[in-house]
Structures are given as C-alpha cells and as structure tokens.
C-alpha cells in the first residue's frame, strides 16, 4: 500500500475512533460487487491492528468471497460457514496472522442458505465472543445492492460503513440502499467513495457522512503478503 492510500485508510480509522468507543463491531458493505469493499475492509482491520488494537477481520461474504483467493490463503481450513452451521467452535475458525494484533475468520465453504446462517443465533453468539476478545471487529459483508445479507449482519453490529464506486450508481439507487441499511441499524458511520479520479490526498465531507476517495488497491497487498507467510489456527 502506497503512502497516499495508507493516509486515507488511517484517516478513515481515526474518524471511526472519534465516533465513540462504543463503535467496535463494524459491518462494511457496498453498492455493487467490485467496489473495493473487501480490500478496504482488510486494510482498515490492518490499520486498527497497526495502531495497537487487537482486531478481528471476518469475511462474511458467504456467497462470493474473493478474500482467500485474493490473498492466497492456504492454511485456513475452516471458516464462518462451519461455525454458523454448528460444525466448528469459535476458537477453531479464528486464525492468527503475521500482522501483529490481527486475526481473521475466512468465509469457509459456500453454503446454500447464507442469509439464514448469518441471521441465526450462532452469529450473535460469535459477535458476543469476539467483543470479549478483541478491541475491534471488522466484518466484510456482501453488497447490499445485490442481497439482504449485509442488512441482516448490520443488526448485530455497532455501526456500518457504505462503499460506492465512482460513477456506478445513481443518487436515488444509493439513497435506497442507505435506507435499507439504516432500517437494519440506524448507526451508519459514513460512506466511502472508491475508484475516484482525484488529486493526491483529497477527500470530501458531507453533512452526514465522510467520503474518502482513492483510486483502488492492487489485488495482492503488503498485508496479504504478510498474512501469506503465517496463517495459524489459534
């Protein structure tokens, strides 16, 4: 990650911290696939870890996760779907990484009933356990413009962040997605505008949300390379 992108992620992290210490479990969703949601989520989790916060990144996209393939993770045998279906316990699906303070839960095997799984009691129990062990929990969810999962997950979180890629969604479409997300959890911490062609270090503020712009990250990141060296079950 280059300096500009690192500054943007640190700014995003700092603004989340200033929303209050009660906002520790955060769902991140996007309007559409390929908006940069998974990369932003993972970098944000890494930024919290770099700041000394014990952080858990959860890949909750049980439909079309790209996380394991994108970061070339090979040693994470079990994931979220195994936990939510009752096949594994919490400690069996949490993996340490070579990033100090950062642990992960990968998606696992794709189920046939993802909405039901993320809406069951085991998901709420997982969040309760994660709160006890971690300072921050960053949850990467499917695009809310495609499926309902993000809204279901947001109910269990302290707040949510909405990503929109530049020039890919109309104002009315984005407003409808935000309303859907707010119906599940009123605490929308802000929005992130991705893939925008702007000058170095430039970001915008609106009345209700903070908009951070960046041109997009490469698929294989510094965080991914570190994690590739050690993914060990706890």
pLDDT score, position 202: 43
- The string over 20-53, giving b where at least 16 C-beta atoms fall within 10 Å of a residue's C-beta and e elsewhere, is eeebbbbbbbbbbbebbbbbbbbbbbbbbbbeeb
Please state the pTM of the whole predicted model: 0.81
pLDDT score, position 55: 98
DSSP secondary structure string, 168-186? SS-HHHHHHHHHHHHHH-S
- The string over 101-124, giving b where at least 16 C-beta atoms fall within 10 Å of a residue's C-beta and e elsewhere, is bbbbbbbbeebeebbebbbeebbe
Q: 199 pLDDT exceeds 70?
A: no
Q: 48 pLDDT exceeds 80?
A: yes
Q: Which of 2-16, 35-49, 117-131, 190-204 has the lowest mean pLDDT?
A: 190-204
Percent of the chain surpassing pLDDT 70: 77
SS3 assignment, position 25: strand
């Amino acid at each position: 990650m280059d300096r500009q992108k690192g500054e943007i992620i640190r700014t995003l992290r700092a603004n989340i911290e200033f929303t209050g210490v009660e906002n520790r479990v955060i769902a991140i969703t996007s309007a559409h696939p390929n908006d940069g949601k998974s990369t932003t989520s993972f970098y944000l989790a890494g930024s919290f870890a770099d700041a000394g916060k014990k952080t858990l990144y959860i890949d909750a996209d049980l439909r079309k996760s790209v996380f394991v393939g994108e970061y070339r993770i090979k040693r994470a045998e079990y994931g979220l779907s195994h936990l939510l279906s009752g096949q594994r316990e919490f400690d069996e699906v949490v993996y340490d990484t070579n990033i100090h303070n950062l642990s992960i839960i990968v998606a696992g095997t794709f189920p046939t009933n993802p909405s039901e799984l993320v809406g069951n009691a085991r998901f709420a129990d997982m969040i309760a356990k994660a709160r006890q062990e971690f300072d921050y929990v960053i949850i990467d969810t499917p695009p809310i413009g495609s499926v309902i999962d993000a809204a279901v997950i947001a109910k269990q979180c302290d707040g949510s962040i909405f990503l929109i890629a530049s020039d890919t969604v109309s104002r009315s479409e984005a407003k409808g997605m935000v309303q859907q997300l707010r119906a599940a959890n009123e605490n929308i911490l802000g929005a992130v505008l991705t893939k925008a062609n702007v000058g170095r270090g430039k970001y915008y503020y609106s009345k209700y949300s903070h908009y951070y712009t960046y041109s997009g990250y490469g698929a294989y990141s510094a965080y991914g390379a570190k994690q590739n060296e050690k993914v060990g079950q706890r």
